[in-house]
Amino acid sequence: MVQFCFAEGIQFFNNFVPSSWNSEDGLPGNSVTDIVQDTKGYIYIGTYEGLVRFDGIEFTVINKKYDKKYNFVSARSLFIDSRGNLWNGSNDEGVFCIGKDDSVRKFSTLDGLPNNSIRDLCEDREGNIWVGTSSGIALISPEGKVFIPEGLEDLIEDNNILVKHLFCDSAGRIWICTALQNRLYVYSGRRFSVYDGITSIKNPSVNYVTQDSAGAFWFGVSPYYLLKKNGEEETLFDGGGISQKGTVVNCIFHDSVGNVWFSTDTGLGVISGGEISYYTEKQGLVDDKVVKIMEDRESNIWIGTDRGGIEKLSQSQFRIIKNNETINAVVEDTFRKVIWLASDKGVRCYDQKKFIENPLTEYCENIRVRDINITDAGDVLVSTYAQLGVIKYTRDGKIISWTEKDGLTGNRTRCTLLHSGGDLYIATTNGLNIVKGFSKDGEIITIQKSSEVSSDFIMTLHEDSEGNVWCGTDGGGIFVVDSKTYEIKKTYTTEDGLAGNIIFKISEPVPGQKWICTGTGLSVMKEDSGSLKIYNFNSGNGLGTDGVFQALIDYTETVWFTSNKGIFSVHYRDFENVFNGKDDSIFSKFYGRSDGIVTAGVTSTSKSSKDSFGRLWFTLVDGVAFYDPVRGKANTKAPIVQIQEISIDDENFIYDGSPVEIGPDSKRLSIKFTGLSFISSEQVKFSYKLEGYDSKFSEWTTQRNVSYTNLPHGTYKFTVFAMTRDEVKSLPSYVVTIIKKPYIWNLLWFRLLIGGIIVLATAALIFYRYKDIVREQKRNKEFTSQVISALVVAIDAKDQYTNGHSNRVSKYAVMIARKAGKSEAELERIFYAGLLHDVGKIGVPDSIISKPDKLTGEEFEVIKTHPVIGSEILKSITAVPEVVVGARWHHERWDGRGYPDGLKETGIPEVARIIGVADAYDAMTSDRSYRRHLTQSVVREQIEKGRGSQFDPVFATIMLEIIDDDVDFKLHE
């Protein structure tokens, strides 16, 4: 691929960046016949060596050698129909329809075409494809039937017509161009007629017809005219303004913004804003004979040529003004309405169209100039690296200078600063000079190397909001001068947190923030919670480089940088996110040739600037580049992802959308994909994931293929996203289903069979052992129940009035749990928890347990210890943890007023809530030493009253349902 920069003098084409490809880049030949873009986003190029598919990176030649189903060699005329099919009219093999499913159907003279040499194709409103050949016209219906349109024989004998161009207009009429005098045909109302509506040119020979968006017709008329016909009004454009008169208008194209492009045998032309601009081989066009012009979905203009391959014109974000001199500074002069450039060979003055001479440029000829400034009064301050020192060029043309003879510390001056207080600060390679009062006769104060100033090689000057002057040095960091006392107030070096001690530029692009560009990174000083904090950025946290020459910010809050690696930008929000602790890195976007920066590089330690229109001017080693944020908008079109090829070990397959099956012996799977964006195609990035294998999407990469080795058998889903350099993300690709077949021993039925055999073989061995285990488990369970029953008897024996209490509570708890839907296993655990819930009473004195009278407060406190005692007794029983839960928390209340831990609501374990309701019911329905059992109605009333306060409302409701079912009060019995 070749890229050029347009030379000055062809203003319209300066808005574009050209790129070109020929046979050296992968095209099968340099003779291009046609260009189209299909619905998938590919660019297709017609050549005599085959149909060529292009994704911005790779050319794929499609012909019978590529795949036998493409039974053609050449591609002369290309067309995309309304159904998305790609039609290829070959040079001598007929017409081929390539469907969206990659099916191919051929039409030739055997099917009714008048000739196999196809010259052009178009589609009418009924979906018929019109085929123009070297000796006649035919139609192919949507059903694939070939027929000759009626009526043509009335005008042309035997349909013997050589078609140059076909066009279907907005009214559905078909235009047939023959390039013969008075032989432009129109098909309308199922009849042909000769069009005689052109009156501006006698005996017109029309090569091309098209329509603009307003409906006006445009005709390409020999030898080099473009004729616009809007109703009866005709406008004639002379397309032969190119140095050598063209012989034919090959193509007319209207782009998406209303420009009219046309091609002749001697170059390319554009009508824009009523003016015609030309682009030829002299300005960099690959070949003057342009045969086709096309615009893609991203507004790139594609040019097909007869001998030079293809060329693409993309909207340029930058414009280059070259003078082949190293530019050290650039600044706008709003007084004189010019741009001043500081060059290694003098001062240059640019008036937006050309370089001009004036007394200052003549005075500084062949003098190395490091910096230029414009004062508020319109004076030009020039810092030279020679015997001229600092020059002041006044608005009335006077030239004044300050040199070593006037008291400067040296003539090698780096830059100047006219202070708001009226003094002129001059930076030199061996000290700071302050000319008081900005007067030729003013006193000059100097500051050189000292205990406070470790380097007096001054690189840059900056006045802050308080009037202090910041001086950046070459290796000594920064020293700050008080503009009133001329004393040094403060110094900053790497010891204070700066990224580096070589200071290129200091600025305040954002109020309250000092941006310091150094040789080893960017430092940003800002107030943070009342103290000064320094944030450093370099290649380690996203800056993309370490040495930064300068930082500028445009009105879109994009920060622009110059560096040895070129021009790049970072959005200010990235820095804010770092300042606010939301992120620890930034994202840098670099610009290069594809953006219009065609240069040998950025000038080191130079000064770029922003003009009054908000445009940015960048210094280069061979000129300047300027960027207009209004025109330099990012590409907002999302790339289109396509899966191109699947490779299994060494065998490649064109992906057709069907599931991909891989044999069990296959070791390597490779997937090739592309992201169709033709603006900086090489910078499109991808992120992919193989679901079933990858845990997440990959990091973004420019690689367009991925491989997996030794995948386990199973089904996988592959998806890939693409993202442009402007961070516009695509929709996901079609999901590729990949099925890795298993070996026979990986199959479920085989494993089941082997497992069955193993099971049968071992079943006999474990059968008798199993019976022994079952008998042992039964004995253990019976023993456990007997032990628990004995323990319960011991508990109940403590109090004759509560004898059988534990068994009854266990029974009621199981009834509640069963109605609550608990499983049999859960019911068994709740049963044991109910039996042992009062085991802690073993640790309570018998005198309190058996006391017939009401307990005192102290005695009740002793009783309240039994839940904790019980949980301590049972805590070693891990097989049934519910017994510990039931023992400790069955006296907790729903409202949190229970004991021992004051748990509430669902914080109380569910088993304890169930036992709590069952325990209360038995307490009320049992005889006690101090009272008889309560009646069923009173019991029901008490449980109803405690629902939602003492008891879990759900389990209390279940207990009420049990009471209501117990009409005869049998539970009490």
Sheet with 260-264, edge to edge strand ranges? 249-254, 260-264, 267-272, 275-279
Answer with the one of 316, 347, 380 that is the final residue of a domain. 316
Q: Is the pLDDT of residue 412 over 90?
A: yes
- In this structure, the answer to whether residues 674 and 775 fall within a common structural domain is no
Q: How confident is the model at residue 2 (pLDDT cuts 50, 70, 90)?
A: very low
Instruction: Judge whether 359 lies within some domain.
Output: no
- In this structure, the answer to whether residues 36 and 161 fall within a common structural domain is yes
Q: How confident is the model at residue 832 (pLDDT cuts 50, 70, 90)?
A: confident
Answer with the one of 316, 345, 367 that is the final residue of a domain. 316
Range of the domain at 93: 31-196
CB-based contacts of 269, cutoff 8 Å, min separation 6 = 239, 241, 242, 261, 262, 263, 276, 277, 278, 279
Instruction: Judge whether 309 lies within some domain.
Output: yes
Instruction: Judge whether 910 lies within some domain.
Output: yes
pLDDT of residue 242: 59
Are 342 and 372 contacting, i.e. CB atoms less than 8 angstroms apart? yes
How many structural domains does the chain have?
A: 5
Instruction: Judge whether 50 lies within some domain.
Output: yes
- In this structure, the answer to whether residues 731 and 785 fall within a common structural domain is no
Are 388 and 364 contacting, i.e. CB atoms less than 8 angstroms apart? yes
Q: 832 by DSSP, 3-state: which?
A: helix
Stretch 822-850: mean pLDDT, rounded? 85
Stretch 465-469: mean pLDDT, rounded? 95
CATH of the domain at 8: 2.130.10.10
Kindly report the backbone phi and psi dihedral angles of residue 478, in degrees, each rounded to the nearest multiple of 5, phi listed first: -125, 140
- In this structure, the answer to whether residues 814 and 689 fall within a common structural domain is no
Q: Is the pLDDT of residue 166 over 90?
A: yes
pLDDT of residue 214: 94
CATH of the domain at 703: 2.60.40.10
- In this structure, the answer to whether residues 149 and 83 fall within a common structural domain is yes
**Beta-carbon count within 10 A of 58 CB:** 13
Q: Calculate Rg over the CA atoms of the chain.
A: 45
Cα gap 862→968, rounded to integer Å: 37
pLDDT of residue 3: 33
Stretch 524-550: mean pLDDT, rounded? 91
pLDDT of residue 244: 56
- In this structure, the answer to whether residues 44 and 183 fall within a common structural domain is yes
pLDDT of residue 935: 86
Instruction: Judge whether 886 lies within some domain.
Output: yes
Kindly report the backbone phi and psi dihedral angles of residue 134, in degrees, each rounded to the nearest multiple of 5, phi listed first: -75, -5
HSE of 794 in the Cβ direction (CA atoms, 13 Å)?
13
Cα gap 530→771, rounded to integer Å: 82
Spatial CA neighbour of 766 closest among 553, 972, 758, 580: 758
Instruction: Judge whether 391 lies within some domain.
Output: no
- In this structure, the answer to whether residues 168 and 210 fall within a common structural domain is no
Q: How confident is the model at residue 780 (pLDDT cuts 50, 70, 90)?
A: low
H runs (alpha helix) in 138-256: none
Stretch 196-202: mean pLDDT, rounded? 92
Cα gap 846→277, rounded to integer Å: 115
Q: Mean pLDDT of all residues in the chain?
A: 89
Lowest mean pLDDT among 157-161, 327-331, 411-415, 830-834: 157-161
| Two structure tokens written together for 749 | 């039925």
- In this structure, the answer to whether residues 812 and 957 fall within a common structural domain is yes
Q: Is the pLDDT of residue 8 over 80?
A: no
Q: Is the pLDDT of residue 749 over 50?
A: yes
Q: How confident is the model at residue 245 (pLDDT cuts 50, 70, 90)?
A: low
Stretch 238-244: mean pLDDT, rounded? 70
Instruction: Judge whether 184 lies within some domain.
Output: yes
Cα gap 312→4, rounded to integer Å: 11
Q: Is the pLDDT of residue 340 over 70?
A: yes
Cα gap 386→407, rounded to integer Å: 15
- In this structure, the answer to whether residues 654 and 709 fall within a common structural domain is yes
pLDDT of residue 861: 87
Are 445 and 437 contacting, i.e. CB atoms less than 8 angstroms apart? no
Cα gap 348→355, rounded to integer Å: 7
Answer with the one of 284, 316, 348 that is the final residue of a domain. 316
% residues pLDDT > 90 (the chain): 65
Instruction: Judge whether 656 lies within some domain.
Output: yes
pLDDT of residue 792: 66
Q: How confident is the model at residue 934 (pLDDT cuts 50, 70, 90)?
A: confident
HSE of 219 in the Cβ direction (CA atoms, 13 Å)?
27
Which residue bears the tokens 């104060």?
445
Lowest mean pLDDT among 705-709, 828-832, 907-911: 828-832
- In this structure, the answer to whether residues 40 and 185 fall within a common structural domain is yes
Beta strand 531-537 with 550-553 is unpaired
Lowest mean pLDDT among 220-234, 760-774, 781-795: 781-795
Lowest mean pLDDT among 52-61, 417-426, 739-748: 739-748
- In this structure, the answer to whether residues 830 and 932 fall within a common structural domain is yes
pLDDT by residue (tens digit) across 472-518?
999 999 999 999 999 999 999 999 999 999 999 999 999 889 999 99
Q: How confident is the model at residue 856 (pLDDT cuts 50, 70, 90)?
A: confident
- In this structure, the answer to whether residues 824 and 808 fall within a common structural domain is yes
pLDDT by residue (tens digit) across 617-644?
999 999 999 898 877 666 789 999 999 9
Stretch 672-685: mean pLDDT, rounded? 92
